[in-house]
Amino acid sequence: MSAVEAAVAGVPDDAWLVVVDMQEVFTGESPWATGRFDHAAAGIERLLPRFTGRTVFTRFVAPEHPRGAWVPYYRDWSFALVPDTDPLWDLTEPFATAAADRRDPVVTETTFGKWGTRLQAVTGDHPHLVLVGVSTDCCVLSTALAAADAGATVTVVADACAGASDEDHERALAAMRLYAPLITVV
């Protein structure tokens, strides 16, 4: 049993694995590339079998027409203003194939945080969520805080997440630890 698998050994059998934004836009030469993406992906791959039938993948995409604070955000990151069907937003392998083969739901949002009506429709109103993915300091953090605030039990698997930098990853984990016992970082 790997360290990642051992970390979730005490998680209830009805918990949901939420694989946050393992997408092409966060790899390679993208301005949003996450340095330890491959490390997070390896941890997530080890967890997938444990959550067969209880896994949901998420995707972050740009809105067609940014509004409010998103207007200056996309002024800075105009490369991302492409339709949600653009390959930039695709799940990476092996996750695209896993989602299709296993028929795992994919929740797409134009917000950093993925907790909302679409994710609730899959997991229920007060689930136990096991969060993994990228970026720890953005979409994972935003999802964890909103879900916990709404009454979900949240477990974040640190070794199956990656931040914009190692320092940002650690700072986000430290912030989430402040929410114990609503959020547990393992």
Architecture of domain 3-185: 3-Layer(aba) Sandwich (3.40)
62, 66, 72, 74: CA torsion to nearest 10: 20
pLDDT tens, the chain, 186 aa long:
787 888 888 899 999 999 999 999 999 999 999 999 999 999 999 999 999 999 999 999 999 999 999 999 999 999 999 999 999 999 999 999 999 999 999 999 999 999 999 999 999 999 999 999 999 999 999 999 999 999 999 999 999 999 999 999 999 999 999 999 999 999
- CB hemisphere CA count around 153 (13 angstroms): 8
Q: CB–CB of 116/66 below 8 Å?
A: no
- In sequence order, which residues have a C-beta less than 8 Å from that of residue 135 and are 6 or more positions away? 21, 26, 32, 34, 161, 162, 163, 164, 168, 169
Whole-number Cα distances in Å, 132 to 70, 85, 88, 182: 25, 23, 20, 16
